[in-house]
Chains A and B, each alone.
Chain A
Amino acid sequence: MKSTRVFQLTTLALVLVSVVQVGWWLFDQRSYARESVAAARTAYAEQTAAAQALLDAGTAPERVQALLPKILVSGGRAALAPAVDAALANEEAGRQRQYAWEGSFFLVALGLCIAVIARALRAEQRVLEEQDSFLALVSHQFKTPLASLQLSLETLALRTPPPERARVLTDRMLADLARMELMVTQILESARLERGRAHFRPEALQLAAAVSRVVAQLEERARSARVAITSSIDPQLHVMSDPLALDVVVRNVLENALAALAPVGSGSVAISARALGSEVELEVRDSGVGFAAADGARLFEKFTRLHPGGSNYYGTGLGLFIVRRLMELAHGRVSAESEGQGRGARFVLAWPASQGQRP
């Protein structure tokens, strides 16, 4: 990254030097052309004067004309032939035009070079800034569970609590560790997506199977959180997606639904799907805390967390961001709506239907 930058800056400096050089060359050539024509005119003026002197000295006009063919001799007067005069004027104008064109061409070409380099530099700067803010946010996200972990450990050390209190603290620490592990996974996932380097290999996938696999993984947690997950998906529905991406997307949306239900204490998540034109739509409806309409757009941005304290869930703020990026890669879409805080939410994911799908 650094050596590219040095290369770009050096090139930029060279191009700028070239601009100055071309400018100077242009100026020099144009004044040289002017001076050359002026010198030619002076020479012709001398010839005219010489012809006039010869005429005045009584030399026969025919003789003078033969000696100095460029000078027009008539009626005892010598003058520069109009054709020669016009040719000189033409020559000067022609050269000025030529240099103006060539010079402008070079300047435009160099200007384009500068624009291209400046653009590259700016783009690079933006990437650097984004990485900076990404790092700042990531480290911030890490510090909270880290602080919680440290606090629990120091509480254990300082207060030697009874076994049941120690148990609570230990559970808390394990949850903090699990949260940090989830963060590392999601940060790596999102970093890969950021650079667009996710190897996305779409294939026809049975939606019902993918969903039930994820639901099975989350069932235990849902039960202990007193959340009922129901799913009714036609086994005929197939979507075009990368299998891993489909898994991640469904998992993240369901995790989000569980998070939204945690503050409520219990509730339900209903999953359904339908074919819609050339797409297959998956709907995840929860009876959780919902969100204000104004927050709907922010949901899928990086590090947006709308479930504040009181919940027992710890989001990284990356889950739904990853969903959005993966859905973009799958040429699908994702949207969320809620009738307001405390009124549940509805997430809709849509993938291109697989070609071989039967209606």
Chain B
Amino acid sequence: MSAGGPRILVVEDDPHLAAGVIENLRAEGYEVSAAADGEQALASLPGTSCALVVLDVMLPGIDGFAVCRTLREQGNNTPVLFLTARGDPADRVRGLESGGDDYLAKPFHLQELLLRVRAIIRRRDWYHSVSDTAATAVLAFGGNEVDFRAFRARSWNGESQELTEKEAMILKVLAEHGGEIVSREDLLEKVWGYDVFPSTRTVDNFILRLRKRFERDPADPKHFLTVWGVGYRFLKDGGS
């Protein structure tokens, strides 16, 4: 962490709004840089260690969704908080599908913005703190090997896998509580923060994806076990 605190990139084409957001984030102790459009954002991100991108959706040129998708395709897992004037559920889903972490509709409350920024950075810090020693950076189970720092894995059949940040975080949460039951709500809160997704079904979908990646028979999981009505349990050594 540098002297200015975690770095945040604010991508917003409206100068007033950008100035307001930047000043407030600086007042909270973050180190903030700004970009006025998507191209500028994509050009400024590589090579810097950003803790968060606050990204407006309606940008001149390429829109925010496309910027986020491009980042993810480049293997950049920096968390993204979307700011948008369109707050309907379809748009929310689009934002999250493009790889976003959170979504705030304009006009928003300053306190809520700061709260969400804090929550995203806290989740990221937690993830990094539990993945930064040699012992915690790598997880081996059932012939699979997961590298949490590189968001990469090699599964039991030798296939190499690129993990999304969310997949890696879910796996991390489950592994941290190895053998214990983790509720869907706990997973939601740890990985997304509460009110981003409309339902805990999302968690189920991510578990299905993890099973497909790492279980020999995803229909008969040995590592990612469902505890009916409660949540999930991760068994490193396999079980049923």
Contact = CB atoms under 8 A, between A and B. Distances in A.
Contacts of A148: 14, 16-17, 20
Interface stretch (A109-117, A238-246, A309-317): A309-317
Contact of B21 (A146, A151, A310): A151
B17 A144 contact: yes
Interface in B1-29: 12-21, 23-24, 27
B36 A309 contact: yes
Most buried by B among A154, A158, A176, A311: A154
Determine the main DSSP class of A at the interface with B: helix
A223 interface: no
B109 A308 contact: no
The 6 A-B residue pairs whose C-beta atoms are closest, nearest first, are A309-B36, A147-B107, A143-B85, A147-B106, A154-B110, A151-B20
B86 A140 contact: yes
Contacts of B21: 151
A155 B20 contact: yes
B24 A155 contact: yes
Interface of A: 136, 139-140, 143-152, 154-155, 158-159, 172, 175-176, 305-306, 308-312, 314
Given A140-B58, A143-B107, A309-B36, A151 B24 contact: yes
Given A155-B20, A155-B24, A305-B60, A150 B109 contact: yes
Given A140-B85, A146-B107, A309-B37, A155 B23 contact: yes
B106 A159 contact: no
Contacts of B109: 150, 154
Contacts of A306: 60
B62 to A, nearest CB: 12
Interface string B54-71: 000011110000000000
Nearest to B37: A308
A79 B27 CA distance: 117
A310 B40 CA distance: 12
Nearest to A143: B85
Contacts of A311: 15
Nearest to B24: A155
B108 interface: yes
B74 interface: no
Interface string B104-117: 00111111000000
B79 to A, nearest CB: 21
Contacts of A151: 17, 20-21, 24, 107-108, 110
A319 to B, nearest CB: 16
Contact of B85 (A139, A149, A176, A305): A139
Interface string B87-115: 00000000000000000001111110000
A281 to B, nearest CB: 30
A172 B24 CA distance: 15
A152 B110 CA distance: 9
Nearest to A139: B85
Given A147-B106, A159-B27, A312 B15 contact: yes
Contacts of A308: 13, 36-37, 59-61
Most buried by B among A139, A143, A152, A158: A143
Given A151-B21, A309-B13, A309-B14, A143 B106 contact: yes
A7 to B, nearest CB: 32
